[in-house]
């Protein structure tokens, strides 16, 4: 029986499977465990089930000499020092596939919400600003028949593209699986939606030059990771009208502090990282994360491993 630390209670009953086989301590505080607290709790543990909000850095990994399996409750692993884990021979699990459809649903929902001005309209009703119907009031832009640029042609980008078929959109894809150049996508798209992982090559992928290259009538959608977008440049783009609007499910940091300049920008919709936030998806993520951890602790190959090269080592 291995000692494990889980940084948050998870939806569903997946943790019962972990508790049945191992000694699992679950953090019960409000929000993520503070950095030093996390380091202390992981010291002496063989397994760690972390969340995107937990910084599993090289120092934490070094402070846990008995650690031999990490499972991250997310598709991305940018919160984990993958190199440090790999050097130690520690497999790092993640949860791809199960959140693809929910995140794609939200991406399309954000396109509709920001282009049709739904949050603004809802506020107008509640604040008593809707006094009469007018042909020119609250005009937005259509998603159907629009040109949508998908940056990143992986699972989620592909799921978004399939949904847009029903809207009769022209879909441009730039990325490893896409035939369109990034420059063409920026210039032609009415909506640009981001679906790339966060890494050194994608950090601030969308900054001032890219925003200026977009149509003044275009919208930027981000359900990937906050640091992919230069938020200072985005705030300026919205204030000065370089683009028509933006909808973000992710920011840098998360959450944005009160008074952050980005929140003062016009034509901006920000929601609190809801891409996978459905009962079915979050419970499926928990099952996947627990399966990864159980496999890692049992000396078996994780079903979804972010550093599979550790299994290919000889000797």
Confidence category of residue 314, pLDDT binned at 50, 70, 90: very low
- Helices assigned H by DSSP within the chain: 14-21, 35-42, 58-62, 82-87, 100-115, 118-126, 155-164, 182-188, 208-213, 231-240, 279-297
Per-residue confidence (pLDDT) for residue 73, from 0 to 100: 98
183, two tokens: 């420059």
**117-126: b (≥16 Cβ within 10 Å) or e:** bbebbeeeee
pTM of the complete model? 0.92
Lookup: tokens for 108? 């399309």
Question: Would you give the end-to-end CA distance of the chain in angstroms?
Answer: 26
**Do 33 and 7 form a contact (C-beta atoms < 8 A)?**
yes
149 phi and psi, to 5 degrees? -95, 125
Q: Give pLDDT, residue 131.
A: 87
To the query of whether residue 17 is one of the catalytic residues in this protein, the response is: no
Identify the active-site residue in 8, 117, 195, 225: 225
Based on the residue annotation, tell me whether 126 is a catalytic residue of this protein: no
Instruction: Report residue 67 as tokens.
Output: 């650690």
Rounded Cα distance, 276 and 280, in Å: 9
d(CA 97, CA 113): 25
How many CB atoms sit inside 10 A of residue 133's CB?
Answer: 7
Q: What is the CATH number of domain 3-98+279-312?
A: 3.40.50.720
Q: Give residue for tokens 């894809």.
A: 173
Instruction: Please check the confidence at residue 315 and state whether its pLDDT lies above 70.
Output: no
pLDDT > 80? residue 176: no
Distance of alpha carbon 258 from alpha carbon 33, whole angstroms: 22
* pLDDT average, residue stretch 64-84: 96
Q: Where are the domains of the chain?
A: 3-98+279-312, 100-270
State the catalytic residue, choosing from 254, 264, 300, 301.
254
pLDDT of 173 above 90: yes
Answer whether 3-98+279-312 and 100-270 agree in fold: yes
* R_g of the chain computed on alpha carbons: 21
Active-site residue, 195 included: no
* Domain 100-270 superfamily per CATH: NAD(P)-binding Rossmann-like Domain (3.40.50.720)
pLDDT in tens, 114-147: 999 999 999 999 999 998 889 999 999 999 999 9
- The reported pLDDT for the residue numbered 27 is 97
User: Each residue of 227-241: pLDDT tens digit?
Assistant: 999 999 999 999 999
Of the residues 39, 68, 163, 273, which is catalytic?
273
């Amino acid at each position: 029986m291995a000692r494990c630390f889980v940084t948050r209670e998870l939806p569903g009953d997946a943790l019962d499977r972990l508790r049945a086989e191992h000694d699992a301590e679950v953090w019960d505080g409000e929000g993520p465990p503070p950095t030093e607290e996390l380091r202390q709790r992981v010291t002496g543990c063989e397994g760690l089930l972390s969340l995107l909000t937990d910084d599993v850095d090289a120092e934490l990994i070094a402070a846990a000499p008995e650690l031999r399996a990490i499972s991250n409750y997310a598709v991305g692993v940018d919160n984990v020092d993958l190199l440090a884990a790999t050097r130690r021979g520690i497999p790092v699990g993640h949860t791809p596939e199960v959140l693809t459809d929910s995140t794609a649903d939200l991406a399309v929902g954000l396109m509709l919400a920001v282009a049709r001005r739904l949050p603004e309209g809802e506020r107008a009703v509640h604040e008593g600003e809707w006094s009469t119907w007018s042909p020119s009031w609250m005009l937005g832009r259509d998603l159907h028949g629009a040109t949508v640029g998908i940056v990143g042609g992986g699972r989620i980008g592909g799921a978004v593209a399939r949904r847009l078929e029903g809207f009769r959109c022209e879909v441009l894809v730039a990325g490893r699986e896409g035939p369109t150049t990034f420059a063409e996508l920026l210039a032609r798209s009415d909506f640009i939606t981001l679906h790339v992982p966060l890494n050194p090559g994608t950090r601030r992928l969308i900054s001032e030059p890219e925003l200026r290259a977009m149509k003044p009538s275009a919208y930027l959608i981000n359900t990937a990771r906050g640091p992919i977008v230069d938020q200072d440049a985005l705030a300026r783009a919205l204030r000065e009208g370089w683009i028509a609007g933006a909808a973000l499910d992710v920011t840098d940091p998360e959450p944005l502090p009160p008074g952050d300049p980005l929140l003062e920008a016009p034509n901006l919709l920000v929601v609190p990282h809801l891409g996978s936030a459905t009962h079915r998806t979050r419970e499926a993520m928990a099952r996947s994360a627990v399966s990864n951890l159980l496999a890692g602790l049992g000396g078996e190959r994780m079903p979804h491993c972010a550093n599979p090269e550790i299994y290919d080592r000889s000797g």
